[in-house]
A and B are shown apart, each in its own frame.
Chain A
Amino acid sequence: MRPKSARLGGVLAVGLALTLGLAACSDGGGTDASPEAGSSSAAAGSTIKLGFMGDLTGANAGIVIPPRNGAKLVIDEYNKTNPAVKVEMVEYDSQADPSKAVALAQQAIKTDKIVGLIGPAFSGESAQVAPVMEEAMIPSISASATNAALSANGWKYWHRVLPSDSVQGPGIANFIADGVGSKNAFVIDDKSEYGKPLADVVRTTLEGKGVKLTNDSLDPAESDFSSVVNKVVAAKPDAIFFGGYYAAGGVLLKQLRDKGVKAKFLSGDGSLDKGLIDGAGAANAEGALVGCPCYIATPDVTDAKVKAFADAYKAAYSADPAIYAAEGYDAATVFIDAIKAGNTTADKINAFIGTVDFAGVSKQVKFEANGEVAAKDIYIYQVKDGAIGLLGKAAEAKLG
């Protein structure tokens, strides 16, 4: 009866796995429930809650963790000063799924009673969560959602602390035409909610500048982009722009170089990650240019405020601040400033956000009526010796 006993073993193994799962789960439930109960009684007095929403465990967590860390830094610093009103940051892992994000936002509003939200991190979830926050009249500041259409909805409670793709696209396109001096460009997008609109803006701007243009799109779920590469080889461009995330960008860049394409490779903020170099290989990635509406403190930075932030970040997380870390820090600073000024309700905080104007780590933080930040700088970064370094503002950067 060997098979029977073997099956019994299987039963036990699965049963054990399930029991462990349930046990771990009930733990989670228990710890979740207790602070809730505590906060509802103490809501008037000592602690208020801010939310952070984004893809914390999914494929793109690499560009959501740094702003989370940045925001957490501000809140921890503030709580250390032993203020009358403490702030608790509640994290909502949306996994970039809009319908999950909406359910989490409703949880945040009804159960957790947050007074402000940092995020949602991405544009897709922002499009669905923002109307919910709007109806609940709770302010939000995103540190990384760049889709241009978001600010065109007349939302009063939605803000973002970085310029949109309608600024980033032309910024990079102008750099391609003027800084790089391209006459014949090839623009590729990844057919994502982020890459496609960005590439489209780059396309229109390049066309306006009289640059010859060839286009193709790829599916980032694939790993063989040879049909795209063959088109590039046939078109013989002097510059290539890729609108999409670094995972596909790195592979694309490698396959381009393997087929002997020497043209300058450019991309947007979604590719501003070490992963681009890992995917392409250091030799292939050398000289690649990445535009971003974000400011990343490089180790040689001189500005005292930025340096202090970079040091504190490194001390807390034993890593250099990465993409959107500074923006996450600034977004959280806005909320903390509001609370410091005695605004503890969502409505008052929102009114305060409309009035802020201070020098943040990433930029001068001041919001326009539609929620966009007033500063419109795009920065260009370049891969040099296997690391990403700041080249300068897109309008001024020169190729070395």
Chain B
Amino acid sequence: MLNDFVNQFWPATIDGLAFGSIYALIALGYTMVYGVLRLINFAHSEVFMIGTFGAMFVPFVLGISSPLTGIALVGIIVAMILAGMVASAGTAMALERIAYRPLRSRGASRLAALISAIGASIFLQELFALLIIPKVFNRPQQGRIPMALPRLMERTELFSIFGHSVRVDQVLVIVAAIGMMVALDALVNRTKVGRGIRATAQNPEAAVLMGVDINKIVRMTFLIGGGMAGVAGALYLISYENTNYFIGFLFGIKAFTAAVLGGIGNLRGALVGGITLGLVENYGAIFFGSDWKHVISFSILVLVLMFRPTGILGESLQQARA
């Protein structure tokens, strides 16, 4: 058993980091919306799902089905990430407009918003399974079957750690994810919009009095959170090369777990939570088998919350240590 762990430690670490980065990017969306609205955006999982399809759309439209190199490769990766961001951010803002804002304007409970989100989630999944995948992606009768991305980037080994190769796609995911986080951190801490977000998170009434346009801030929050989920979707698609209409569900639950694990409302917590979750899952799978992954992640969550009831880093979007 221990021998297995030693043998599989490095590959598990690399895979865990790559997957954990994706969790972290999605977790940002949960954590930002929660920080500002105190609301679990349950439909965020579908925002991620639509991000993967947005990214998928680029090579589909261009008709690319063989590996690329050089500028063409960089170009398509950037285009896919942008398409993912646009699709996801658009979805997130539409959700805010249709499923949340009318509720807020009525002063409805957050529970009502939760149900609205679940409804929106079902609607978006079915929309993709029944219409978008069969019609737009031209896969009649196959809306519920996973869709594969043709190989665009060769799986070349970049370097190796103790004889275990690290592939270029894995490095891309980790580097891009961390880059996005740094950019977001700067945005929240250095810009006017960021200050508005922090102010609203801290005390919405006071923020209104200080001249912050709350509706604009809420829209921005959904926009940024959605954009991050779009990046996650594109990176995931490039690296794992498949998606389906239901893919958001597990990612959503896991990313939400990651957000809570790190301390919901706390941007750095999302990163810590995501990476922790990715690593713990893969290490745990070595000992208990891959089918126990989810049980391991949820058990870790319960354990952490028992000893640190507000997550590893605590909840603090408002305190600006974002």
- Residues of B contacting A99 with CB < 8 Å? none
Interface residues of B in 82-118 (CB under 8 A from A): 98, 102, 105
Chain B neighbourhood of A275, CB < 8 A: 145-146
Q: Are B290 and A281 in contact (CB under 8 A)?
A: no
A19 at the interface (CB under 8 A from B): no
Is B240's beta carbon under 8 Å from chain A? Answer: yes
Q: Which of B3-52 contact A (CB under 8 A)?
A: 4, 7-8, 11-12, 15, 19
Nearest CB in chain B: distance from A194 CB, A: 15
Q: Is residue B286 contacting chain A, with contact meaning CB distance below 8 A?
A: yes
Report whether A233 and B11 are in contact in the complex, using a CB–CB cutoff of 8 Å.
yes
Stretch binding the partner chain, chosen from B147-155, B218-226, B313-321: B147-155
- B294 at interface, CB cutoff 8 A: yes
Contact flag A230-B11 (CB < 8 Å), given A219-B290, A279-B242: yes
Q: Which residue of B lies closest to A4 (CB)?
A: B105
**Beta-carbon contacts under 8 Å, A259-290 to B:** 259-260, 275, 278-281
Query: Interface segment, A58-66, A374-382, A383-391?
Result: A58-66
Interface status of A222 (Cβ within 8 A of chain B):
yes
- Nearest to B170 among chain A residues (CB) is A226
Contact of B291 among A7, A219, A254 (CB under 8 A): A219
The yes or no answer to A345 lying at the interface (CB within 8 A) is no
- Most B CB contacts (10 A, CB to CB) among A3, A230, A259, A260 go to A230
CB-nearest residue of chain B to A222: B250
Query: What 0/1 pattern do residues 217 to 240 of A give for CB contact below 8 A with B?
Result: 111011111111011011000000
CB pair A234–B4 under 8 Å, yes or no, is yes
Output the residue of B15, B244, B282 with the most chain A CB within 10 A.
B15
Which residues from A are CB-within-8-Å of B19?
224, 226
In the assembled complex, A10 has its CB within 8 A of some CB on chain B: yes
B138 within 8 A of A: no
Select which of A191, A216, A278 is within 8 A of B148 by beta carbon.
A278
Assembly CA distance A259 to B145 (angstroms): 24
- A250 interface contact, C-beta 8 A: yes
Task: Count chain A CB atoms within 10 A of each CB in B98, B144, B243 and give the residue with the most.
Answer: B144
In the complex, the answer to whether A281 meets B148 with C-beta atoms within 8 Å is yes
In the complex, chain B residues whose CB is within 8 Å of the CB of A234 = 4, 7-8
Given A227-B281, A258-B155, A281-B151, are A219 and B293 also a contact pair (CB < 8 Å)? yes
* Residue B241 is within 8 A (CB to CB) of chain A in the complex: yes
A329 to B73, CA, bound (A): 49
> Does B141 belong to the interface (CB within 8 Å)?
yes
**A121 touches B (CB below 8 Å):** no
Contact between chains at B250 and A227 (CB < 8 Å): no
Q: Is the CB of A227 within 8 A of B145?
A: no
Distance of A279 Cα from B142 Cα, bound (Å): 13
Contacts of B221-250 to chain A: CB distance below 8 A? 240-244, 246-247, 249-250
Per the bound structure, the CA–CA distance linking A331 and B247 in Å amounts to: 36
B249 with A10: CB separation less than 8 A: no
Contact with B along A186-222 (1 / 0, CB 8 A): 0000010000000000000000000000011111011
Secondary structure of the B side of the interface?
A: helix
Tell which of B102, B242, B282 touches A10, judged by Cβ atoms closer than 8 Å: B102
A234-251 to B contact mask, C-beta < 8 Å, 1/0? 100000000000010011
Q: Which of B15, B145, B244, B290 has the largest number of chain A CB atoms within 10 A?
A: B290
Which of B142, B148, B286, B291 counts the most chain A CB atoms within 10 A? B291
User: How far does the alpha carbon of A59 sit from the alpha carbon of B291 in the complex, in Å?
Assistant: 21
CB-defined contacts of B243 to chain A, threshold 8 Å: 223
Nearest CB of B to A5, in Å: 13
User: Could you tell me if A251 and B11 are in contact, using CB atoms closer than 8 angstroms?
Assistant: no
Q: Which residue of A lies closest to B144 (CB)?
A: A59
A227 and B167 CA atoms in complex are apart in Å by 16
Q: A227-B281, A233-B11 are in contact. Are A191 and B145 (CB under 8 A)?
A: no
- Let me know if A251 and B146 touch, CB within 8 A: yes
Q: What does DSSP make chain A's interface, helix, strand, loop or mixed?
A: helix
Give the bracket for the number of chain A residues in contact with chain B: 35 or more
How many B residues face the partner with a CB closer than 8 A?
39
Distance (whole angstroms) from the CB of A240 to the closest CB of chain B: 14
Asked whether A227 lies within 8 Å of B141 as measured between CB atoms, the reply is no
B12 CB → nearest A CB, Å: 6
Chain B: minimal CB distance from A205 (Å): 21
Is B155's CB under 8 angstroms from A227's CB? no
For A254, give the chain B residue with the smallest CB separation.
B241
Q: Are B286 and A227 in contact (CB under 8 A)?
A: yes
Interchain CB contact under 8 A, B240 and A223: yes
Contact A217 B289 (CB under 8 A): yes
From A14, which residue of chain B is reached at the shortest CB distance? B98
* B285 located at the interface, meaning its Cβ lies under 8 Å from any Cβ of chain A in the complex: yes
Cβ A7 vs Cβ B242 within 8 A: no
Q: Which of A7, A231, A254 contacts B8 (CB 8 A)?
A: A231
Contact flag A228-B290 (CB < 8 Å), given A223-B247, A254-B241: yes
> Which of chain B's residues have a CB closer than 8 A to the CB of A251?
146, 240, 242
Chain B residue contacts of A258, Cβ below 8 A: 155, 167
List CB contacts (< 8 Å) of A1-51 with chain B: 3, 7, 10
With A61-B144, A247-B146 as contacts: A224 and B294 at CB distance below 8 Å: no
**Besides the known contacts A226-B282, A234-B7, 10 further A-B residue pairs in the complex with CB atoms under 8 A apart:** A191-B291, A217-B291, A222-B250, A223-B146, A224-B19, A225-B290, A231-B8, A247-B146, A258-B167, A279-B146
Give the B-binding residues of A (Cβ under 8 A). 3, 7, 10, 58-59, 61-62, 65, 191, 215-219, 221-228, 230-231, 233-234, 247, 250-251, 254-255, 258-260, 275, 278-281
21 pairs of residues in contact across A and B, judged by CB atoms under 8 Å: A3-B105, A7-B102, A10-B98, A62-B142, A217-B289, A218-B290, A219-B293, A222-B250, A223-B146, A224-B15, A225-B290, A227-B285, A230-B11, A230-B12, A230-B15, A230-B286, A250-B148, A275-B146, A279-B148, A279-B242, A281-B150
